[in-house]
Structure 1
Amino acid sequence: MSILITGVLHENRIQDILIKGNHIVSIGNLAHVQADTCIDGTGKAILPSFMNGHTHAAMTLLRGFADDMPLGVWLKDHIWPIEAKMTEEDVYWGAKFACLEMIRTGTTFFADMYWHFPGTARAVQEMGIRAGLSAALFDFGDKERARQAKDQVEKLYEKYASLSERIIFTLGPHAIYTVSKDSLAWVAEYAEDKDLLIHLHVSETSTEVENCLKEHGMRPVEYLDSVGLLSPRLMACHCVWLSDHEMDLLARNHVQVIHNPASNLKLASGTFRYQPLADRGLNIGLGTDGCASNNNLDMFEEMKLAALLAKSASGDATVLPAVDAFALATKNMAAMYGLECGEIREGMLADCMLVNLNHPQLTPGHHLLSNVVYSANGDCVDTVICNGRVLMEDGVVPGEEEITAGFRACVDRLTGA
């Protein structure tokens, strides 16, 4: 299978892009080349597609369900009770609808942590995108629940670790306040043994820090260090309430950090300290969090918020410029997951999007990436390709009506509508 994209803007020049199989194989003047599929890139620019570093995909089912509440109340009184009613089929449709939203807004990879792993995996397989799917682990300090959770993780690993080249199996201990010390230590050992990445909420709220100090006599990152979880395998999400010493620990252990600006703002969690983390050389990625706390999966919005928050926090307009904000959502994320994507170059995986240069938000075109970060939203995306397969062209995703109908039926069942 080959795809030829003609006359598209790439690095400020009009060029042709040839995709064979799932890789970009040639960039230049390719007027002589024949391909199975030809896409007219006139009036469009090609960019690497986005990678969403932290979300809970099936929470599309809960978009707008319980807003404007503190995190603790939101989770315990509203989110966890309705999640207890969800079936694998609900999660399948919720995740499939999330994939649809992500494709429409230029995202072809997401890192997920949620219940009913098989439902999300099935949705990813069918929708054609990539994902780092976490086997979620909660035990709330209960030894029997911990045993069952570990057993479930091992079973999922055996079945899904080699399921697809587009799915990366990861471990998903939820947080230090929902997973016991013994289970966190087990996760660290299991990840080392199986060569797996770990997806974890870290220091999202001041309450989490206060409770950790009371219970363990140390701050969350120090606690994670004591149980052996700090390593390049760890994707530490949120990381809002960090001391300088904790940032040093993260850097010393080459931990990967995921910034979630919209969710942090909506839940009033606090301010992510971008520049001090970047100054320490940490690799920082970007994520939306789930639709119940954002409330969308549009990575354009996340880039803008990340850039503006970093500038505001530092009082320096030069901090996190557009080029670097774009990297948070593309090549930085690719490096975390060891994927050869995040850039449009020969030899890279064919994960890309075409944006409409005639869209008002991309006009005039003084600087494409500045427009993409500060002006655009997902509506500017025209075409999306993942792993060498066209998932959306001219703004159309095949099967969208069926996906929406299946999704709405699940929402109605869960809410009694």
Structure 2
Amino acid sequence: MSILIKNGRVIYGESLEIMDADVYVEGNKIVKVGKGLKESADVVIDAKGKVISPGFINTHTHLAMTLFRGLADDLPLMEWLQNHIWPLERKLTPKDIYWGSLLGALEMIKSGTTTFVDMYFHMDEVANAVNEAGLRAYLTYGVVDLSSEEKAESEIKEALRTLKFIQKLNSDRIEFIFGPHAPYTCSPGFLRRIRELADEHGKMVTIHVSETKTEVEQIKEQYGKSPVELLDEIGFLRDDVIIAHGVWLSEKDISILKKRGVTVAHNPASNMKLASGVMPLRELLEAGVNVSLATDGDASNNNLDMLEEMKLAALLHKVHTLDPTIANAYTVFKMATQNGAKALKLNTGVIKEGALADLVIIDFNKPHLRPIHNIISHLVYSANGSDVETTIVNGKILMLDREVLSFDEEKVLDKAQKVAEDLLSR
């Protein structure tokens, strides 16, 4: 399939140059970017008055938690998890996960996310939903051992089963990655085994690290070192690791993360909502650590809108440091695109010849996006997910003129509502 997007304003290359240009897509790649392209195409899209942007990359979420949106708000993390979320999760069935994941996929498509990293359970159902929706995803079954050898064996068996299931899908959009939940739920020996399995199968790893002050204090009391120091000591940290949150990081932690090439997935909305703290973004960026952007799950955000997440990231760090130059629009936009692609070693996150065709078209013919002085600034500070008009992943149009093409939107909305209501009554 070929697509020609004409008359748009293109955010081109790593430098985010704004060009008045056309974009020609053939198969799953961007083939040409330039003015007045004459190539014939199966689909021609007129993007006059619109911006052609790289799709957004959400490097940490829990997709099926869409079913918990609006439940147990305004609580501290551990109370939220132990007293509300975990009891509900024990009631979830595989089909619940499927419909919750489709709802999350719908939300992502309609707000311009083209790639995401997901940690949850019943991940074969998440994979089925993603396969149907057409998004690009890195999926992990979140393993925990709680210092139990029996639990460890069971969890590893399920992770490997999920890996095989995803491999059998034979999709160039869906990858399995390993996902130990966190150092406070996984013993050092278990974490070493996961590291070995990741190496054996050539897969990446993602893990929650230093999300709360209490977590860090707990690990220090138990092991005499920070979570990052503990992970480094056991040889866990490499450039194929994405740590989620990284709120409570010391200067030594940051130095280790830089040395090992680890990416930190920043979740500003979730960190603020759960009062977890403020990630040391200035220090991470100054050290040269790759920082990507993420929403976390719908239960702690409460949406998957990466455009909104960019604004929150920029504003949070300005007010926290009392420095308006921190987290400028260009830095944050790269966190949501290029840095996520770098973390995943993925040839996307930019619009240029040869890159994967993961694109979104954003309608700037709206009062809150005019006058147009600075497109990147508008995307970070003025736009929201509903401004996304068209979403393209791997060269396939998933949404055109706000109409989702890959599945029945109304059916998903209706079914997810019924599943959520049934869940609460169990």
- TM-score for both structures, normalised by structure 2: 0.96
Which amino acid in the other structure matches residue 267 of structure 1? L
Greater Cα offset, 89-98 or 211-220: 211-220
Q: Which amino acid is the alignment partner of residue 413 of structure 1?
A: D
- Indicate the residue corresponding to 1:33 in structure 2: 39
**Correspondences of 1:363-402 after superposition (within 5 Å):** 363-398=370-405, 399-402=408-411
- The aligned residue for residue 417 of structure 2 is 408
Identity of aligned residues (%): 45
Q: Separation in 1 of the partners of 2:36 and 2:324? A: 41
Aligned residue for 1:284, secondary structure, equals: strand
1:13-412 maps to which residues of 2 (within 5 A)? 13-161=19-167, 163=169, 164-398=171-405, 399-412=408-421
Q: Secondary structure at the match of 2:178?
A: strand
Deviation of the 1:301 alpha carbon: 1.2
Deviations 1:57-104 (A, max 9, x none): 000000011111111111011100110010111111101100000110
For 2:91 and 2:4, the matched residues in 1 are separated by 46
Which residues of structure 1 form unaligned runs of 5+?
Answer: none
Amino acid of the residue matched to residue 161 of structure 2? K
Q: Distance in 1 between the 2:368 and 2:348 partners?
A: 26
Letter in 1 for 2:2: S
Shift of 1:313: 2.9
Equivalent residue letter for 2:144: F
Segment drifting more, 30-39 vs 103-112: 30-39
Partner-residue secondary structure (3-state), 1:262: helix
The question of whether the paired residues in 1 share the 8 Å contact of 2:142 and 2:179 is answered with yes
Q: CA RMSD in A?
A: 1.3
Q: 1:284-340: CA deviations, max 9, x gaps? A: 100000000000000011111111222223332222211111000101101111111
**1:8 is matched with which residue?**
8
Between 11-20 and 342-351, report the one with greater CA deviation.
11-20
25-34 or 219-228, which moves further after superposition?
25-34
Q: Return closer, same or farther for 1:149/1:4 CA change in 2, 3 Å cut-off.
A: same
How many pairs does the alignment contain? 417
Q: 1:396 to 1:220 in 2, by over 3 A?
A: same
Query: How far did residue 158 of structure 1 move?
Result: 2.4
Deviations 1:248-267 (A, max 9, x none): 11111111111000000000
Q: Give a deviation string over 1:2-31, Cα, whole Å, max 9, x none.
A: 111111112444322111111111112345
- Equivalents in 2 of 1:238, 1:328: separation in Å? 14
SS in 2 for 1:161: helix
Contact 1:258-1:284 within 8 A present in 2 as well: yes
Give yes or no for contact 1:361–1:380 (8 Å, CA) kept in 2.
no
- Taking the aligned partners of 1:159 and 1:380, their CA distance within structure 2 comes to 36
Contact 1:384 1:393 in 2 (8 A): yes
Q: Deviations over 1:237-285 (max 9, x none)?
A: 1001111111111111111111000000000001110010111111110
Cα distance in 2 for partners of 1:227, 1:240 equals 21
- Which residue of structure 1 lines up, in the alignment, with residue 13 of structure 2? none
Q: Distance in 1 between matches of 2:231 and 2:422?
A: 39
Deviations 1:361-417 (A, max 9, x none): 211100000010011111111111111111111111131101112211211210129
Question: What is the CA deviation profile of residues 155-198 of structure 1, one whole-angstrom value per residue up to 9, with x for unaligned ones?
Answer: 22223236311012101111111112221110111112212111
Using a 3 Å threshold, how does the CA distance of structure 1 residues 32 and 250 change in structure 2: closer, same or farther?
closer
Quote the residue 2:14 is aligned against. Answer: none
| Mapped partners of 1:169, 1:360: distance in 2 | 42
2:123 and 2:141 in contact (8 A); partners too? yes
User: Which deviates more, 287-296 or 168-177?
Assistant: 168-177
Q: Distance in 2 between matches of 1:383 and 1:325?
A: 22
Q: Name which of structure 1's ranges 264-273 and 129-138 shifts more when overlaid on structure 2.
A: 129-138
Question: Displacement, 1:138?
Answer: 1.4
Which ranges of structure 2 fall in alignment gaps of 5 or more residues?
11-16
For residue 268 of structure 1, give the secondary structure of its aligned residue in structure 2: coil
- SS state at 2:331 partner: helix
For 2:86 and 2:34, the matched residues in 1 are separated by 52
Counterpart Cα distance in 2 of 1:106 and 1:198: 25
- Per-residue CA deviation, residues 95-137 of structure 1 (Å, 9 max, x unaligned), is 1100000110000111000010111000100000101101220
User: Residue 18 of structure 1: SS of its match in structure 2?
Assistant: strand
